[in-house]
Each structure stands twice: as C-alpha cells, then as structure tokens.
Amino acid sequence: MTARIIDGKALAEQVRSQIAQRAAALAARGEQPCLAVLLVGADPASTVYVRNKVTGCEKAGIRSLRFDFPANVAPEVVMAKLAELNADPTVHGILVQLPLPPQFNESEVLEAISVDKDVDGFHAENVGRLSQSREAFIPCTPHGVMKMLESAGVPLVGAEAVVIGRSNIVGKPMAMLLTNAGATVTVCHSKTRDLAFHTRRADILVAAVGKPRLVTGDMIKPGAVVIDVGINRLTDGPDAGKLCGDVDFDSVLPVAGAITPVPGGVGPMTITMLLENTVISAERAARRKGL
C-alpha cells in the first residue's frame, strides 16, 4: 500500500479563494477585514512568519497593520499598543508573534488582547470556550488540521486518535478538537513511557513535536491517517538545510493510508485559518453594526 497524500497547499488555495470572496463582500458593505500583527525583536523565523501572514492578508483582500518593536522594548509600550488596537473599531484581529523576549509575561500579553479580536485563539477565555464546545476562535494550526481531515473524508467519530505533543498552541487544542469531534484521544509527550505502543493503536496520528523524523513506519498502524505538524530544518547529513517534519515520510508512506507532506501539508493551512478567523471576526462586527 502507498499512502494517499493529503495536499495542504491545494486545500489552502481553495479555502483562501472562499475567504477572499467573503472579504470582498464585507468590504463592499463598508467593513473591510483588518488584521494587526505585532512583532517584538527580529528573530529570523518569526520575521518570516510575520511576513507570510501580511502577504497572506494582502492576497485575500484583508487589510494588515504591522507593528515592529525592538527586542528590548518595555512591555508597557506593547500593552499600550494592544489597548489602542482593542479600541479601534476598524481592527478585527490582533496577533502578537510568539515567542516574546524574556522581559514579557506571555500569558499577560495574550490576555491583554480583546477576546473578540483574538484570532490566534490563545486567550484563556477562548481556550475555555473551546473546551466547553462553545463558539470560540480556534488556534489556527489544529483548526487547519481539522479542515484537512474533513476534506480528506476521514471518519472521526469513534476513531482512535493519538496526538504527540501537548503545547498550548498545537497539541492541547488539537486533542480538544478531536475529542469534541467524537474521537477517543490519547495525548503523548516527552514523559510518555512507550510512544510506539500508543502510536501503533492510532487510526489518526498527529505529530506536533519538533523532532525530525521521530515517527517511523514501524510505529504506524497499517492504513492510519498521519498528520505531520512538525517543521524542522535539518542541520546535518545529505539533506542539510532542507525542511522536514516529525514523521519519517519515506518509511511511513508504504504503511499509512494517508499522510501530509512537509512542506506543503499543515503549514499552508495555518495562515489560511488565521485569515478565516479574521474574516469571521469582521463578519461578526458587521452584524453588530447592522451592515
């Protein structure tokens, strides 16, 4: 058997064209969607992510505002900007690129963003709403994974799902979304005693670890759906400089039923869901204004 490839790039293009239509309809009603992005410092990876988010906005007809602060900025300066953006009725989404330098308390910053503009879905209130299956902004990466599973027609109700990773931005919300969708979910992490024991039982395996090629073919149940969230840059060997996921694609491909590639899998869906959340926020604002 050779696994079917779940093409995140193609799905992202399709979803982004729908988002662009919704953005244009909002603009025509006088409510152009707008995302504000705050970047502190000049971490190279963060700078690339922010640039991609801004470009993604432009292509979808979403206005973007970018605010750059030096790495040694006082937290009060960033908090003041957040207060200003919270109060600005023309801004629908606000995100602070993580990680932040050590002088910041990350949770304090995330909770200074208005719950209604928290398009990353990291505010504790949105996390709580998600855990109660209430309307919430859903963190973009796990939300993108859910869209991919849906578009690939993967049955979730009653499925055994295993998530490797328990971070606030990927692993935990991923487990919550799969639980809400009716899967039986196991969450593994660095203290898990026998990772392969769990992964071999998975109908759906989501790897969000940050360890290149951690998951190998012998850890996969034949026919399983394998979603690779990891983005790792290889530093040595023949593939040095290339990107790879947490899944050893070559050994998993002949065993799995479906698999996402890296690059071209989950990555393109993450920014897509950020754009969608911004449009959803603008649609809510337009409804509130009776537009």
Q: Interface residues with ligand NDP (CB under 6 A)?
A: 141, 164-167, 169-171, 188-192, 195, 208-211, 214, 229-232, 266-267, 270
- The catalytic residue among 116, 118, 120, 203 is 120
Shortest approach of ligand NDP to residue 70 CB, angstroms?
A: 24
Taking the C-alpha atoms of residue 80 and residue 198, their distance in angstroms, rounded to an integer, is 46
Closer CB to ligand NDP, residue 81 or residue 93?
93
The enclosing H or E element of 164 equals strand 160-164
Q: Under a CB-based contact definition with an 8 Å cutoff, are residues 206 and 174 in contact?
A: yes
Closer CB to ligand NDP, residue 37 or residue 91?
37
Beta bridge mates, 68: 39
Within 13 Å and on the Cβ side, how many CA atoms surround 210?
Answer: 8
Closer CB to ligand NDP, residue 255 or residue 262?
262
Task: Using CB positions, name the residue nearest to ligand NDP.
Answer: 167
Closer CB to ligand NDP, residue 91 or residue 164?
164
Taking the C-alpha atoms of residue 159 and residue 204, their distance in angstroms, rounded to an integer, is 7
Q: Is 53 a catalytic residue?
A: yes
Q: Which two tokens stand for residue 107?
A: 């949770």
Handedness of CA 180, 183, 188, 193 (dihedral sign): positive
Shortest approach of ligand NDP to residue 1 CB, angstroms?
A: 26
Q: Is 242 a catalytic residue?
A: no
Shortest approach of ligand NDP to residue 190 CB, angstroms?
A: 3
- The catalytic residue among 97, 116, 117, 147 is 97
Shortest approach of ligand NDP to residue 232 CB, angstroms?
A: 6
Shortest approach of ligand NDP to residue 286 CB, angstroms?
A: 29
Closer CB to ligand NDP, residue 37 or residue 169?
169
Taking the C-alpha atoms of residue 216 and residue 214, their distance in angstroms, rounded to an integer, is 6
Q: Which two tokens stand for residue 25?
A: 């309809």
Shortest approach of ligand NDP to residue 50 CB, angstroms?
A: 13
Closer CB to ligand NDP, residue 81 or residue 137?
137
Map tokens 């909770």 to a residue: 111
CB proximity list for 119: less than 8 A, separation 6 or greater: 35, 92, 93, 94, 95, 137, 140, 274, 277, 278, 281
Taking the C-alpha atoms of residue 267 and residue 206, their distance in angstroms, rounded to an integer, is 14
Q: Strand 243-244 to strand 232-233: parallel, antiparallel, or no bridges (unpaired)? A: antiparallel
Q: Is 97 a catalytic residue?
A: yes
Burial class for 209, CB neighbours closer than 10 Å (0-12, 13-18, 19+): buried
Active-site residues, by number, are 53, 97, 120
